Structure formats: C-alpha cells, structure tokens
Structure 1
Amino acid sequence: MPRFPKPAEGSWTEHYPQLGTGPVSYRDSVDPQFYEIERKAIFKRAWLNVGRVEQLPRKGSYFTKELKVANTSIIVARTTSGEVKAYHNICRHRGNKLVWNDMPLEETSGVCRQFTCKYHAWRYDLDGNLTFVQQEGEFFDLDKSRYRLVGVACEVWEGFIFVNFAKEPEQSLREFLGPMITDLEGYPFDKMTSRFHYRSEVKANWKLYMDAFQEFYHAPVLHANQSPTAYSKAAAEAGFEAPHYRIEGPHRLVSTSGVRAWEMADEMRKPIEDICQSGLFGPWDKPDLGEMPAGLNPAKCDPWGLDSFQLFPNFVMLFWGQGWYLTYHYWPTSYNTHIFEGTLYFPQPRTPRERIAQELAAVSFKEYGLQDANTLEATQTMIESEVLDDFVLCDQEVLIRHLHTETAAWVADYRSKTAPAGQGV
C-alpha cells in the first residue's frame, strides 16, 4: 500500500489570516471588463518572463514574443556588447511590425547585425538606433537619433529574461522576486540545455489553469487512469496532502515528497517505464548537479519529490528531485482564453538511452498536463453560467485563494493610482 505524506504544520490557510477561509469569488475569471483592467493593472506593471538566455547564444541573436495581453509584440536581442535588450516590435516610420517572417502574427528567431523593415527598408542596429533611412533626403529635418526603437525594461536573473512594460517599473526585478525566489540562485540552470516545449490554446481564463497546478488535491482522482486500478483506488481513498506551502509577496510555493518509481511494485509501473527507466517523475538516473540552493526542498522531504514556485502573475518553475526542471507560462488572450506553454529542461544526454529517457518524461508530463487542461473548458462555461457566485476551498487550495486575492489587490491598487483626483476608487 503506498504511503501518502501528511502536512507537518496543520492548517496552512490559517497561517495567512489575511486570506480568510470563506468562499472565493471567481468573478475575476468571467468578467470581460475585469480582464481589461487586469491587463493594465498586472501585465503592464509586473515583471514577465519571456525566455532564457540560451535562446540568445551569440551576439546578434534575437527572438520575438507575441504578447496579446499587453497588446504588443517585442524583440529580445543580444547586442554587440553581449547585453540582452528588448524593444517593441514596431518601425518608427509607419508603424509596420519590424521583425517577422511569412506570417506576421507568428513568433520568429534568428541572428542578424541589424533589423530591416520589410516595408521601406529603415534599419536599426542591435542597440535600437536608427542607422539608415531609404531616401533620407526626402524627409523634413529628420534627426535619426530621435527615432530609436521603443525600448522595454529588461532584466536577467539566473538566465531568465524578464520584461516590464511600465514606463518606470516600480521595483527592480530582484526586488520583485524577493528572497523566496532569489534563494534559488545557484541552481544549475545553465546545465539544463536539453529542452522540450509544447504549446496549447486553452478556452479558459488563465488563472483557472494556474489553479489546476497549485494543488495536488485533484491528483489521485483526475489522474487515476494513469495508474493501475488497485493503486489509484487506494490513492483516491487516502487522498494526498503536500507537506509544505509558502506565500511571500505576490509569489507562492508548494513542496512535496516523492516516490522512487523503480522501488514501486512491478504492477504499478508501465512496461515502457522499465524499458526506458523513466516516466512522469523524470529519468531514473539522477544526474550529479552538485549542491542544491537553500531555497529548494524547504520541508526537507526524503525522498524529495518536487517544488513548484508560482511567480506572479503567470510564470511557474517546477523543480524535480530527480534533477531536472520545467516551466509553465499562461498568456491571456481574452477573459476566457489563453496560451499555455510548457517547457522541460534536462542536462544534455550523454547516450541515446538518456535521450529516450528524457523524451518519455516529456511525453508523460504532456499527457498529465492535457488531463489537467481537459477540465478547464467545462469549468469556464459553468462559472460563466453564474449559477453560483463563489466557491469553497480546502486547506490544500490555499495558493488558489492567494492568487485570486493578489489579483484583486493589484487591480485595486491600479484603480486607486489612476482614479481622477478627488474621485473614489
């Protein structure tokens, strides 16, 4: 019979009394007007992760990112000095999208010395300077120095590239992340260069999918068919509780113990897992990554399963005890749709067997992700029915409570700062 960990500190929700214990409204996930304010209050003020430095391996490397939630497209580039910079993807002449290939709305990447507009061939260097204007003499008192690319605040932390669309960000990136996140410094992100990526359009509010990965209360039920009947029945009856939750500023963490798949009974494993020595929890052969940073495994679980760090607003870093990590991004496209991106990172495989083990882990995790996504459209449609106004949450769903509370707080703060003088919020 499998053993299921119990929390060491009792009620987690009561550790954060500011969150309350009453029912939670999901109005923020069905109201188009709230979404429009949310875009300005959150996604144009918070630091947003848009990629990693490995996507910019050399001087002149660039990629574009389509960000409908901010109503823009950006170029992220490595300059000739090696600095990472970001710009709005718009030509200063007539407003054409500057960098794109055959399909203007698709993202692209490459290497260049300068960006050339497809419309009238204006050129900009990697630092955003306007360097060439076709038939420049035809213009009236044109001062090219006044027509640089429009920059976007850009900072890098541990190889993760973040941007901020505020004209003057209220905090530096490091201040925004806070100690719970910066305590992850020293993790060998730079060694995790074997990358698997998937992307899906989901017909649900972005917060609903984040909620799905912020608790493990659902795991023994929703994922039951991935395990033998005897195991899944026992798991559903026993339930599952993570041993550690933490909230710091706008960010959240859930940490839990794990299982050693190869020590499970034979009937609890799939034949392909024995053949490839891999599965949902990753390859069985754990790489030697050296000493882990202080921020990981705060509950000191043995064996340690995973830590899921939820960075506000829409970025997740999930570290596995087996020596790999993955990221999630949830990019809103409307009040009831978003783009979900999942990316898995492993050390470079040394043998074909190691490569196959990584691929099995990637497809296994994609299957679980699809199972989580499968419920979301049903959830969205029924919440939009407005049959119910609010919903009860259990202690394990404390991070869900926090996400919706934090979202409301950012919106309220924005309204207070933008309300006309003398007018209430």
Structure 2
Amino acid sequence: MPHYKKPDAGSWTQHYPELGTAPVDYTDSIDPAFYEKEREAIFKRTWLHVGRVERLPRTGSYFTKELPVLGTSLIIVKGGDGKIRAFHNVCRHRGNKLVWEDFPGEETEGTCRQFICKYHAWRYDLTGKLTFVQQEGEFFDLDKADYGLKEVPCEVWEGFVFINLNPQQTLAEYLGEFAAGLEGYPFGEMTEVYSYRAEVGSNWKIFIDAFAEFYHAPILHQKQAVKAEAEKLIGYGFEALHYELKSPHSMVSSWGGMAPPKDPTMVKPIERVLRSGLFGPWDRPAIDGLDTLPVALNPAGHRAWGQDSFEFFPNMTLLIWAPGWYLTYLYWPTAVDKHIFEANLYFVPPKNARERLAQELAAVTFKEYALQDANTLEATQTMLATRTVSEFPLCDQEILLRALHKEVGDRVKEYSDASAV
C-alpha cells in the first residue's frame, strides 16, 4: 500500500490520468434506459453486501433481503454446518414468496429448523433441499431432489456477508487490495449497532457523491460549529489527507476524530459531559486490534488522522473512525430517481450507562449531519431532470465522484457492446 502525499505541483486527480479533468456528464443519473443497463451490467454481476454475520448467531438464524434492483428477494441463513447460504425467496411449487410475515414486501428475520411455505406447506431444510411435499402422491413423477431452493453465490469477508447473482470473480479477488489491507481490524468486536433506513428521492450515485467528498463540509455543516470556528473552516476550505483508487474501488483519508478536542469551544456542553460527538466516543475501547492498525488505514501516516472512507463498488461505503468504531452506508436503487439508503453504526458493546449514552450521542449526531447531506439530494435530482445542464466541473477534492461515474459508464458501455454482438 503506497504511502505518499500530494506533491506541491499537480493534483490528486492527475495521479490518475485515465480519469481526465473535463466536466462530468450526469445524464447517467436521470436516464431510465441507462438505469436499466446499470441493473444488468453492474448490480446483477457484482458482489453486494447484505448484512453482518452477527445477524446469524446460531444454526437456523436467517434474515430476508428485498432487492428491487435485482428483481428478487433473498433468504440468508446459517446452516448446521456453520456455512452461510443465500437463496431466492421463492417456493418451487407455485412461486409463492417463501419467508415473510404479515406484509410480503417487508424484510424479516428469525430462527427456524426448516422453511415452510404458507401456501401449500412445502418444506425446505437449511441447505435448501426440498424435504416434504403435501400430498406428494398427487404429483406426477416428482423427484424432490430436483426442486430445492435456488441458491445464490454467497461469501463472507471479515464478517461481512456478500451475495452475487452472477460472479465473475471470488469475493476476495473482487474486493482486492483495500480489503486485504483491512484484514485483522476488530470488526467482530463491534457488535452494538444503530441503524437508519430511508427512501430517498434521488439516483443512488447522487447520495454516494454526497458522502464521497468533504469539500462541502465547511459550508453545508457550518452551523454545527461555533461561529468563529465555522468562519475559520470556510476560510481554510477542505483538503483530505489522502486519496487512492484501486479500480473499481476507492478511498479517502481525512483528519478529525481527535479526542478530546483541544479547543473546548468546538464542542457542545453535552459532548463534553458524555465525551462523545460526531466522531464517536472520545475514549477508545480497550480491545485488541486498535493499537496496531492494518496497513490500509491512515495511508498517509498523518498524526491528525481521523477516519478512512472506503467506497466498495458499486454501493457500499465502509468508514472506519480513529477512536475505534465504524459504520457502513448502503445505497439500494429502486428506480432511476429513487433508492433506499441504509446506515449502520457499529460500536464495542458499552460496559456502563455513560458509555451507552456516549454511543447514543454519536448516533444521533451522525443522523443530524446525514440529514443535512441528504437534504440536498432531491433538489439536485429534480434539477438534473430538467436537463438544463448535464455536464458539471468537479474539483480535485471530488476525485472519488469522477471515478464512480467513469466506472459506471465504462461497465455499462462494455455490457452494451457485448450484448450487441
């Protein structure tokens, strides 16, 4: 993993000449036909993160995942052999959705010994085999071995569960050097989870764009700081510590997360009392794996390092904070101008009430900032849809945006060209 900083001359973008520096065409975020090609060329052919192993603590633990972008619903389940498997959530008899509760469009989770269809009671074991057919003698030459659940490739990296409808590579090969450089981080120790989920009226890439650059932070989030500090931040602007691309993935490393802040005027009274805030609890948890960081973290080796944000293409952000917690963002398209946004914050389980309150303060502070980021999205989408302007200049701090839109465009073109042959 290279350790370099931006030279005095040139820019981060110029480290990657294949990106160019021209304005970027955002038609890819408003064109319904392009969106349908994205579904086929990208989402149906790449590894997608669907959950953590902690959601499957024992044999028979399962959860469902609704994935409109793939046109399916999946069951993720842990078998008696300890293996995690994924199946299309469809009964092989008449196509009924197999696992659901009161409302078939809602996700569910639980523990069971077998899956039983609500319609005609066909049963399947935890490996997907069909084990029982109601009135089996009424069928014609039915071999149960031919009618198991349709399995979907499923692999696990560092406790993160991924699925892929049509894998071109193993998960490890796909995630590449960034993932290899993060192995050993104590993700499995951080099992206290706070989750947010919302339907957003924008293209999925627009929200990734919002989180993949911090150029906006001194402006959009200025009211979160005291006036004098906000004015200083606006005057300085923003400069990340490090950017790096390993196609199709990318990362940005930033300052922040210093605990406690040296300037007491920068924090609110409740933050001083609970020793927590946007950057998470100030007191690092006492667990193995935080003192010696994996090689992918803080690649610039900067003393003011606060967090690294990894964009695993196409729709997963993994953001690791220096004080010892992490979060994930997932962006699930439902239409060209809509998606489901999911955020999960992971902490080491608290040992007392103060630690619990510190985590809750971090979670609600995160929500406030995320709402500020999300507040721009639908306004952006509606104006892009006018097609008044389609190309936009991106600065050097927006290199991850440039890389994302190029990667999407390249993959759609490659798929379209191959389909035309």
Normalised by the size of structure 1, how large is the TM-score? Answer: 0.95
Tell whether the 8 Å contact from 1:154 to 1:163 is kept in structure 2 after alignment.
yes
Partner of 2:334: 333
Tell whether the 8 Å contact from 1:261 to 1:269 is kept in structure 2 after alignment.
no
User: Any idea what the Cα deviations from partners look like across 1:39-66, whole Å, max 9, x if unmatched?
Assistant: 0110000000000100000010000000
User: Any idea what the Cα deviations from partners look like across 1:266-310, whole Å, max 9, x if unmatched?
Assistant: 222101101111000110111234322111110111121100000
SS of match in other structure, 2:283? coil
User: Any idea what the Cα deviations from partners look like across 1:184-239, whole Å, max 9, x if unmatched?
Assistant: 00000110001100101100000000000111100000001111111111111210
* 1:261 CA displacement: 4.8
Return the alpha-carbon distance in structure 1 between the equivalents of residues 320 and 98 of structure 2. 37
Partner of 1:364: 365
SS of match in other structure, 1:350? coil
Tell whether the 8 Å contact from 1:8 to 1:243 is kept in structure 2 after alignment.
no
SS of match in other structure, 1:344? strand
Partner of 1:238: 236
In the TM superposition, 1:228-307 aligns within 5 A as 228-289=226-287, 290=289, 291-307=292-308
Return the alpha-carbon distance in structure 2 between the equivalents of residues 192 and 180 of structure 1. 20
* 1:7 CA displacement: 4.9
Partner of 1:407: 408
User: Any idea what the Cα deviations from partners look like across 1:4-56, whole Å, max 9, x if unmatched?
Assistant: xx955650000110010000000000000100110011000000000010000
Q: What amino acid is aligned across from residue 29 of structure 1 in structure 2?
A: S
Tell whether the 8 Å contact from 1:228 to 1:267 is kept in structure 2 after alignment.
yes
Return the alpha-carbon distance in structure 1 between the equivalents of residues 147 and 265 of structure 2. 67
Partner of 2:178: 180
Return the alpha-carbon distance in structure 2 between the equivalents of residues 33 and 356 of structure 1. 47
SS of match in other structure, 2:80? coil
Task: Summarize the Cα distance change of 1:176–1:105 in structure 2 as closer, same or farther, 3 Å threshold.
Answer: same
Tell whether the 8 Å contact from 2:257 to 2:323 is kept in structure 1 after alignment.
no
Tell whether the 8 Å contact from 2:42 to 2:412 is kept in structure 1 after alignment.
yes
Q: Across the two proteins, how many residue pairs are aligned to each other?
A: 413
Partner of 1:3: none
Q: Percent identity?
A: 60
Return the alpha-carbon distance in structure 1 between the equivalents of residues 104 and 183 of structure 2. 37
Q: Give the alignment's Cα RMSD to 1 decimal.
A: 1.1
Of 183, 192, 195 in structure 2, the residue corresponding to residue 194 of structure 1 is 192
Unpaired runs of 5+ in structure 1?
1-5
SS of match in other structure, 1:131? strand
Tell whether the 8 Å contact from 1:197 to 1:342 is kept in structure 2 after alignment.
yes
SS of match in other structure, 1:329? strand
SS of match in other structure, 2:153? strand
Tell whether the 8 Å contact from 2:257 to 2:307 is kept in structure 1 after alignment.
no
User: Any idea what the Cα deviations from partners look like across 1:92-116, whole Å, max 9, x if unmatched?
Assistant: 0000000000010000000001000
User: Any idea what the Cα deviations from partners look like across 1:297-325, whole Å, max 9, x if unmatched?
Assistant: 10111121100000000001000011100
Return the alpha-carbon distance in structure 1 between the equivalents of residues 297 and 159 of structure 2. 18
* 1:81 CA displacement: 0.6
Return the alpha-carbon distance in structure 2 between the equivalents of residues 143 and 178 of structure 1. 42
Normalised by the size of structure 2, how large is the TM-score? Answer: 0.96
In the TM superposition, 1:36-47 aligns within 5 A as 36-47=36-47
Partner of 1:148: 148
In the TM superposition, 1:49-60 aligns within 5 A as 49-60=49-60
SS of match in other structure, 1:262? coil
User: Any idea what the Cα deviations from partners look like across 1:347-377, whole Å, max 9, x if unmatched?
Assistant: 0111110010001001101111111000000
Partner of 2:27: 27
* 1:416 CA displacement: 2.3
* 1:259 CA displacement: 4.9
Return the alpha-carbon distance in structure 2 between the equivalents of residues 183 and 342 of structure 1. 23
Partner of 1:15: 15
User: Runs of 4 or more off by more than 6 Å in structure 1?
Assistant: none
Moved more, 226-235 or 98-107: 226-235
Unpaired runs of 5+ in structure 2?
none
Return the alpha-carbon distance in structure 1 between the equivalents of residues 327 and 112 of structure 2. 29
Tell whether the 8 Å contact from 2:255 to 2:305 is kept in structure 1 after alignment.
yes
